[in-house]
Every structure is written in structure tokens, then in C-alpha cells.
Structure 1
């Protein structure tokens, strides 16, 4: 990911993918088939739009999230590193659309991050729209991600 920002902007609408044919939302079973993450570390609740050129995913932030117990008592805020992880998971879904990928024999790894900015605290009751686009594809992908609250 090259950028991760929480902002007040509304989420993108399904079907406005700049390239590649957008496919309908992914069901939970499909997400679980692509990502190795499970509760409590699976941070994608739904995929609203996916193509080879863009993924739009959703995370509903509940008061029951385990990280709110200690971050911070009385003033719950979603840790920024988990917002970054949500973008990385969305990026894994995006990359799986572009390459032949067998999740039973391969694992996608997050390798680097540049220029992260957090513009707004994410709190219980928020809904995060996660948008990720590829900047470079191949054996190693480079992507740009943004979280919108």
C-alpha cells in the first residue's frame, strides 16, 4: 500500500471501476476462500466490487471488536495498523483477481508501506469503505489503498 487515509468522503458506488469489468459483490464464503485470515483478524466483512483494476470492500466497526478493550478504555479508537491491515487484505483479494492463485498452496505477504496518513479516528459504529487499486502487477504488486469513513 502506498497510502492509507481515513476521511469523511462517501464510499464509491459499485460498478464505477476505471478498468476491467466489475464483478458483483463477493459472498463471505468467497472471501474466506481467498484469504487465510479468520476471526478476530479477518477485517473484510464484504466485497462490494472487484475487478482486476479495483477492489472496494467494507468493514463494519462494532463496539464488540476485541481491540477496543485496550485501545483505549473509555475512548475506543480502531488502531491505525488494523486499518492498514484491512487495506492489505483487500489488496490480497485484488491481486487474486489478476494472477493465477491457489490459496491452498500460496500465501500473499504484505511487504512494505509508504506515506500513510490518518485523517480521522475510526470509532465503534463507523463503516469503513476500503478502496485498493494496483499501481504495478506481477510477482510483486504495488498498490494504493484508502479507507473512507
Structure 2
């Protein structure tokens, strides 16, 4: 399955799609990136005169790249444009270390902990262009082909 096909199978669209490109993928993990454009709607009120990407959006970005894209890849033999994946976040625990500003590009690296009974759990990390750790943690979700 090609990277572009995985992104096209995501159940998101702008303005809630936080995947620009996938860099690497295997049965054990994935990496990809996203650039937060300065005109993203959430910057208007977070924070006044000092926009910072909300932690919930950083978590969503890590989930989209690190869990959902990987899950689509792992289910590649069961998913198609007619049989799209059903996805639900089940848990997350994220520690934040640095802010993400408008126009900043981030890279997400995810390592599969396990995938069984339709539950995928991954260790995820997010880095900036200087390769500084922005946040890290675990995210789990249910992914099935229906």
C-alpha cells in the first residue's frame, strides 16, 4: 500500500486532517510529518496575541499519523475504498515539553506496542525541525475494517 493511498483512506479532511506526508512505514512503526499553517482556525483564540498549537491538536496529530495511518497499513488486506476503516480512540497519555508555533513542521514517530483484537497501542514521539522532543507518550485505538 502506497503512502498516498493510506492518507486518502483517512476518515478526516481539512481543517481536521493533520497528515501532510508519510516518510516510513513497516509492520512495527511509522513516521510522518505535518506543518501547522499560521491560518489554522484554532490559532485565533489560543492564545491572544501569542498563538500556540493546543495540546489536544498535537495529540490528534500523533494519533492520526502514529495510530490511524499505521492501523490502515496493518489492515491493508482488509481495507479498500469501499471497505473503509472504523476508528475510535481508546486511551492516551502524553507528556508535553515544548510549544509548537504557527508555520512549524513536526515529525511524528510511532512504534507499535501491540495490535490484537482490533486494538492498536503505540509509543509516539513528536519532534520539531531541530530534532527537539516536543511531546511523547502512548496512544491506543480500535481499528476495524467494515
Per the shorter chain, which TM-score range? Answer: 0.7 to 0.9
Structure in which a larger fraction of residues adopt strand? 2
Aligned length: 123
* Match of residue 42 from structure 1: 17
Q: CA deviation at 1:32?
A: 3.9
Q: Does 1:64 align with 2:64?
A: no
* Match of residue 131 from structure 1: 109
Q: Does 1:117 align with 2:92?
A: no
3-state SS of 1:107 partner: strand
* Match of residue 131 from structure 2: none
Normalising by structure 2, we get a TM-score of 0.77
Give the RMSD, CA atoms, in angstroms. 1.8
Distance in 2 (CA, whole Å) between partners of 1:105 and 1:124 is 32
Normalising by structure 1, we get a TM-score of 0.75
* Match of residue 138 from structure 2: none
Unmatched 5+ stretches in structure 2: 129-146
Q: Does 1:98 align with 2:54?
A: no
